[in-house]
Structure formats: structure tokens, C-alpha cells
Amino acid sequence: MNMTTLTTGFVPTLAQAGFPEVMSQVTLGHYLVVAAIMFVLGMIGFLTRRNLIIMFLCTELMFQAAGIALIAFGRYHLDFSGQTFVIFVLTVAAAEAAMALALIVLLYRRKESLNAEEWKDLQG
Amino acid sequence: MINPYLLFGLLVVGAVGVVMALPRRGTNPQVLGAAVAGLAGGLLMLFLGLKAGPDKIPNLFFYVFAAVGLGGALRVITHPRPVYAALYFIMTVLASAGLFLLLSAEFMAFALIIVYAGAILITYLFVIMLATQAPEEGQEDVLADYDTRANEPVAATVIGFVLLAALTVMLFRGTSALPAPAKANPDLLLADMPRKVDRLLETNGVMGPKDVIDRTDWNAGVVEFTTAAGAKMVLERSVGKGGTLSEVAADGTRKVVRENAWPEDLRVTNAELLGFNLLRDHPGTIEIAGVILLMAMLGAVVLSRKQVQIDEDAKKARVTQLAQADPSFDPGSESPIELVQQPASSLEEAAR
């Protein structure tokens, strides 16, 4: 395995002259494993950390993982809906960040703490 | 693709590493835990690629970006300080953008950097600055209690890695059973972009401004056009590089006019493919995305609005009430300075 075989794929434009390279199932598996590990790390962080800001950072981490999986599948099937969906994931992430951060600021003003457990006795 | 026992064994080692790396009080083997988790992840990737041929595994940059991204992700969930967690998350975003580039999603890679690292994460940093107390003068910067101790690290990690084990079963059951991808040719989309084709052929000197395209076949890579002088020309893309421009005589014989005539840009770019997919196949979802963003904006404005006016009104009403109940009440102790000089009657008017 020399350096050229390792690096030839670096600029793999889909629309290069002729047919695009077909992505192997092994390669797809690699990307999916990275996405799965990232998702699970985000989930563990969301469950264990008690700082509200870090909890929401962890949800963003899970969004990232979903985006990687979507784009990898889109590349495998040569279908651009995967990338289109990542645009919508970005939209939802931005909306979620705006709302969540506004909520965090509001909650922080009341109790001067970012501890999620401070809010376990919320009353509707 | 990989031996199941090996895979699940590595997952157990990784889980132990993650548990050790999570913040806790007292002795904190964070570095050791991160090293164990990183070792497990590295071995997993190594064994994944070992059996496959070198032409099937992703290239070197995949491993670099995956290591940076997953290392950053681990640090996001283990770092006790929120500011550093956010900065490590930016690193994860950049590494994901690198992975997107490797997956030939150039537009999304840069959109990710601009939107995530540029906008969302900066908002996070602002909120962290707003919602963290500065250490008092002469006092050492102490971490909050809830930042130094993870909540039920073992249970959460076990649950997470059971999920990961279920997800990675796809490696020996799912991905190999996927249908082989169809051989799609993105260049077919050029049929929808006649102006781009005209412009490129003209700027590259293949076609004159008055020439007319008669027939195109993007599957084979053939463009036939008639020059203003009436000559029939054929531009053909050759398999390797370039292409030939030839003149077709009336009896069908071809005379090569120019070698390497196929313009390099005469192909569909990632942004064009994505744009067509977005606007032609998913127009309704764009509307929904717009509504979501509008709602989020309204919600954020309503939620974070400082309710100063209401507080001031309540304060005035309270002062008036106290002044009525007790004529000797001095509002100076409880109210803003401008209220001190005003008689109670004008306060009542203001309250109305």
C-alpha cells in the first residue's frame, strides 16, 4: 500500500469526467462506524453531564453523527437527497440552538446556576 | 468484515475507557481513560480495514479526520469546563467537514463550517460567557460542583455502548447485504443547464457565438452543433482526458479539427447537483424549514426578552401601595432615586 493509493481519493469530485467511482461497502462501513461512535458519545454525554450547556452541545454532537451517516449513504447510493437532508438537519440544529440557548439564559437568570438538577421540581 | 467477538471485546474496552475519562471527584484517571478509549477505537478501525483490500478501505485522510473528530467528541463530553467543551466541539465540526469533503460533499462541508463553527458555536460561546459567574476578586476560579462530577457514568456508558453494539452489528450483517449502488451519471443534469453548456463551449473557443447546438448525449459525452457558416461539428469526450472536436463532412467522414477540446469545467458540480435536488425534489421541505426558523426566531426573542417593564410597573405599584397604607413611608429605601422626589399622588397617576 503506497502513498498514492492512500491519497488518490482526496479530491474525489463526484462529477469528474466519466462515471464517478463507486464507493465500496467496506468504506461505507467505516464511515457508519465513525457516525455510530460519535452518536453514542453524544448520548453518553447527554445522560451523564449535568451542565445544561454541555447537554445541548451533546445533542449537537448527535446531529453531527446523523449528518455523517446521511452523507455517507448518499455518496454510496449516489443520491443527493442525503446532502439535502443534512441541510435540514442544519436548519433544525440552528433552530434548536436558538431556542435552547434562550431558555438557558432565562433559567440562569432565575437560579444563577446551570445545573440541570436544579430544575427537577418544575411545576407546569 | 470483522469478527463479532473481537468487535464486542473492543467495545467493552472502549466503554471502560469512556467511564474512566468522564469527570469525577478525587482521583481522576481522565488521561488514562481517554488513552484506553482511543486505543480501542484505533484497534477497531485497524481490524475493520485489515481484511479488506487496500483499494476498498477509505484513504489516509479518513483516519486522520475520524481520529480528530472522535477525540474531540470524547473531550466534549469529558471536559469539566463548558468553554473548552465548546472549543473541542468546533474541532469535531471541522473534522466532520473533512469527512464530508472525502465523501465529495463539498458544499455541505463548507456550509457546515460556516453555519456550525461560525454561527451556532459562537452563540454557544456567548451564552457560556453570559451564564458563567466570574470569580470574585482574589478568589481562585473554582469549577461548579455539577461540572466536576458526572451523573451515573457507569449506567449511561453501559446503555450507550449496548446501543453502539447493536448499531455495529450492521458491519457483519447489514452493509454487505446492501444492494450495489446503481451507476449513476451526474452529468445527465447538464441537459437541464443549456446556458451553462453554451457559455462554457463559447468561452473555451469550441463554439462561436452564433453556433447552434443540434443534439447532446451526456451519457456518451457527445455534443453536435452547426456553425454559423453551416458546417456540422461533433465534440466527443474521450475516456481518458480531453476530447476531440471534429468536422463532419456531408458524406459522414470526420476530420479532427482540434484535440483536447472538451472543456474541463463541462461537468456538473456538487453545488449544482445539490441545488437541483433541493429545489426540484424537496420544495415543500424548504417551506417547512423556513417556518421552523421563523418560529425559532420568535421563540428565542420572546423567551430571552428581559421583562424590565413589568418589573418597573410592579415596583411602582408596590411603592404606591405602601405610601397609601402608611403616610410616613419613605420610598427612598426601596425604590429608584427618581421616585424619591415625587409625591405619592403623581405616583398613583403613573401607575394608572
Give me the pLDDT at residue A56, please.
92
A9: nearest CB among B100, B102, B297 = B102
Cα distance between residue B88 and residue B18, in whole Å? 16
DSSP symbol at A28:
H
pLDDT band at A37 (very low <50, low <70, confident <90, very high): very high
A120 domain residue, yes or no: no
Residue A3 scores a pLDDT above 90: no
Other Cβ atoms within 10 Å of B44 Cβ, number: 23
Between residues A31 and B198, the one the model is more confident about: A31
On whether the CB atoms of residues A44 and B156 are closer than 8 A, the answer is yes
A69 domain residue, yes or no: yes
Whether A43 contacts chain B with CB within 8 A: yes
Nearest chain A Cα distance for residue B342, angstroms = 31
Residue type, A3: M
B162-184 confidence digits (pLDDT tens): 999 998 887 777 777 788 776 67
Interface mutation vs chain B, best among A16, A19, A49, A108, most B CBs within 10 Å: A49
Cell matching residue B207: 463554439
A70 domain residue, yes or no: yes
Cα distance between residue B284 and residue B57, in whole Å? 38
pLDDT band at B135 (very low <50, low <70, confident <90, very high): low
Whether A40 contacts chain B with CB within 8 A: yes
Number of H helices, E strands in chain B: 15, 5
Average pLDDT, chain A: 81
Residue B193 scores a pLDDT above 90: no
Between residues B265 and B343, the one the model is more confident about: B265
Give me the pLDDT at residue B86, please.
93
Give me the pLDDT at residue B292, please.
95
Domain that holds residue A64: 24-114
- Average pLDDT score over residue span A19-31: 78
Cα distance between residue B96 and residue B89, in whole Å? 10
Residue B272 scores a pLDDT above 80: yes
Cross-chain Cβ contact A64/B56 below 8 Å: no
Indicate if the alpha-carbon torsion angle A108, A112, A115, A120 is positive or negative: negative
Task: Return the SS3 of B254.
Answer: strand
Cross-chain Cβ contact B186/A20 below 8 Å: yes
Residue A8 scores a pLDDT above 50: no
User: Poorest-confidence range of B12-21, B118-127, B217-226, B283-292?
Assistant: B217-226
pLDDT band at A6 (very low <50, low <70, confident <90, very high): very low
Cα distance between residue B299 and residue B14, in whole Å? 40
B230-244 confidence digits (pLDDT tens): 788 888 777 656 777
Cell matching residue A1: 500500500
- Average pLDDT score over residue span A75-81: 85
In DSSP notation, B165-187 reads: HHHHTHHHHTGGGSPPPP---GG
Cell matching residue B91: 474541532
Number of H helices, E strands in chain A: 4, 0
Give me the pLDDT at residue A2, please.
44
Give me the pLDDT at residue A11, please.
39
A92 domain residue, yes or no: yes
B147: nearest CB among A29, A51, A76 = A51
User: Poorest-confidence range of B47-56, B99-108, B125-134, B304-313?
Assistant: B304-313
Cross-chain Cβ contact A112/B289 below 8 Å: no
Work out the widest C-alpha separation in chain B, in whole angstroms: 116
Cα distance between residue B195 and residue B44, in whole Å? 49
pLDDT band at B27 (very low <50, low <70, confident <90, very high): confident
pLDDT band at B269 (very low <50, low <70, confident <90, very high): confident
A33: nearest CB among B100, B168, B292 = B168
Cα distance between residue B107 and residue B321, in whole Å? 63
Average pLDDT, chain B: 81
Percent of chain B with pLDDT over 70: 86
- Average pLDDT score over residue span B198-217: 81
Other Cβ atoms within 10 Å of A116 Cβ, number: 16
In the beta sheet, which residues pair with residue B248?
Answer: B232, B254
Cross-chain Cβ contact B304/A32 below 8 Å: no
A56 domain residue, yes or no: yes
Backbone φ and ψ of B87, nearest 5°: -65, -40
Q: Which residues of B touch A79 (CB under 8 A)?
A: 184
Q: Which residues of B touch A21 (CB under 8 A)?
A: none
Tell me whether strands B212-217 and B243-248 are parallel, antiparallel or unpaired: unpaired
On whether the CB atoms of residues B317 and B348 are closer than 8 A, the answer is no
Give me the pLDDT at residue B64, please.
92
Give me the pLDDT at residue B112, please.
93
- Average pLDDT score over residue span B182-210: 79
Cross-chain Cβ contact A29/B268 below 8 Å: no
Cross-chain Cβ contact A32/B175 below 8 Å: yes
Nearest chain B Cα distance for residue A123, angstroms = 18
B127: nearest CB among A8, A53, A94 = A53
User: Poorest-confidence range of A29-43, B63-77, B225-239?
Assistant: B225-239
Task: Return the SS3 of A57.
Answer: helix
Interface mutation vs chain A, best among B120, B168, B178, most A CBs within 10 Å: B120
Nearest CA in chain A to B145: A115
A119 domain residue, yes or no: no
DSSP H or E segment with residue B231: none
A44 domain residue, yes or no: yes
Produce one character per residue of B166-197: b if its CB has 16 or more CB atoms within 10 Å, e if not. ebbebbeeebeeeeebeeebbbebbeeeeebb
A7 domain residue, yes or no: no
B278-301 confidence digits (pLDDT tens): 998 889 989 999 999 999 999 988
Give me the pLDDT at residue B175, please.
75
Q: What is the CATH number of the domain that holds A83?
A: 1.10.287.3510
User: Poorest-confidence range of A17-26, B42-51, B77-86, B293-302?
Assistant: A17-26
On whether the CB atoms of residues B58 and A9 are closer than 8 A, the answer is yes
Pick the closest to residue B113 from B129, B101, B128 (CA basis): B101
Q: How many domains does chain A have?
A: 1
Nearest chain A Cα distance for residue B120, angstroms = 6
